[in-house]
Structure 1
Amino acid sequence: MNSMENLEKQLICPICLEIFTKPVVILPCQHNLCRKCANDVFTASNPYLPTRGGSISSGGRFRCPSCRHEVVLDRHGVYGLQRNLLVENIIDMFKQETSSSSSSTPASERKEESPMCVVHEGEKINIYCVTHGVPTCSMCKVFGEHKDCEVAPISSVFQTKKSELSDGIAMMVGNNDRMQGIVSQLEEACRVIEENGRRQKTLVCEKFDLLYSALEGKKRDMSQKVTSEQDEKLTYIRGLNKKYGEHLEESCKMVEHGIQNMEEPEMALFLQNTKPLLKKLTDACSTAHLDKVERGYENMDHFSVEFTKEGRALKSLDFLQDDEDEDEDDEEEDGEGEAPVTSPSASTST
């Protein structure tokens, strides 16, 4: 019995949840379906394909309900799928075996297998109350709480509900395929967004690197101007300092020579040396031949800078709007790719 139960589980269609009904078709992924169930799944997955005789005859695709493998059909549609004759033969043998087993089972045991009415002991549940939507027994319809209700044979309701459930499952499978497509599209959108984000961040960084390079170049040029004037003034002052030092040294020598002459006791010799010495002292006291440093010569305040406007422009940096892209391109062509410090505004393009 356990072997038969295991075999029955292998013969259950994943759509209608019943033993496969002929013909049984085999999918490329080696899973099996009733042809009717395969057609229902295919119809739900391809609602806009033209139908003929209640089935889609042209090519299309759907996903296997067991493994989600995509099945691509040719122009014959579901009827182009190969029949699984081996499974059909196994189903025939299984039905024969279960039929012989049920015939050999005592009636009392078979009776216990059917659900019984909890109100009327010994009565099988064999009708369906349409009003309340529950299965019941004949006694409940004649004498019980369902005597005024509309009822139907349980077999007909069984087939109707099974068909509704099968259609609902097929519809859900088709809906799952559409949802899977949406999920795939969303995953692709995430991938594209990440890629675009990385590319745009790279472009923004490149724009800022160009701006940094322009600022560094301008800083270098302006610093070089200050350095050039500084070196020029230092060279002049140092040269003038050297001349004054030499004149001072010469004056000190003249003072020493005059002091020595003051100690000369011989009057004739003293007077003889004094005349040229007095002329030299007079010449040494004169600094007319030496340049004078102009007042404020050492001042370099004329190199002061003010970047308040540029600072506001840098703080206002933002991404361009679509209608500003062409204006920025024109500005870049006019400026030959340079970003002047005195520009009232600056932006990065994406």
Structure 2
Amino acid sequence: MSTSLNYKSFSKEQQTMDNLEKQLICPICLEMFTKPVVILPCQHNLCRKCASDIFQVEQASNPYLPTRGGTTVASGGRFRCPSCRHEVVLDRHGVYGLQRNLLVENIIDIYKQESTRPERKCDQPMCEEHEDERINIYCLNCEMPTCSLCKVFGAHKDCQVAPLTNVYQRQKSELSDGIAVLVGSNDRVQGIVTQLEETCKTVEECCRRQKEQLCEKFDYLYSVLEERKNEMTQIITRTQEEKLEHVRSLMKKYADHLEAVSKLVESGIQFMEEPEMAVFLQNAKTLLQKITEASKGFQMEKIEDGYENMNQFTVNLSREEKIIREIDFDR
């Protein structure tokens, strides 16, 4: 019976590592992602080299794209994601402008370390109350591992107990599922961060256009409007700083959450390699609580629609010159 349970435990651990490895395979080279790993707007990942190869192939197959000296220009352009066929539009930096997925890179490092780490050996824990008794059962009422004598004569004699192996397998499965949930939620948070970065760019662009329009209108009556023009420009700038400060605070909040989740995932993966069931169960509850809190307790705050709109700063300069100094934004 003991040999069978040990075999099942090893088999399940191996299956977990195999499932994790499948998530780290590049769809192009069919090998484990090679750093740096880039995340596409559709949230799929590629090795940067593979992304560059796809981009070069699609550029070379299009005779209408610009070239330089017979070689396809590597900045700007577009290609399709090999996983979902979503079109990826590159900026002037080309594939080097794609954001790196540091979480995936960290998981790859951890996976490689764990795969090459020699199997740890340790003695089975003994009961503190009965020094000659091994911890071999789990108290369901007190939620802690204990020994058979504690069940018969000790503090757990009126409690319900279960075989250590059964509880070990269940809680280890819960931990594995919790890690999978955290990794999945991290992709969603990463998507929000990408949207916030785009919002920052839009806010800056809207402010830039409004400033240009304002300056053009003030230049018409520059001699008498110079002072007022500076005042109104400062109002726009203050509003821009307030909006950007709010968005950046959200970005920092999500970045801190990503870092915390990454560390929690790293701790979970390392802890799953604990070979001793009793040691594992003595600490699993605390780690599972942290994972539950991280996956359920984080509230994602989004900015309202039209947040980047700056139309409230539009001005009308058709008023008479005698009231020019009273000009204000049309609200």
Q: Which has the larger radius of gyration?
A: 1
TM-score, normalised to structure 1's length? 0.37
Q: Which structure has more RCO (C-alpha within 8 Å, separation ≥ 6)?
A: 2
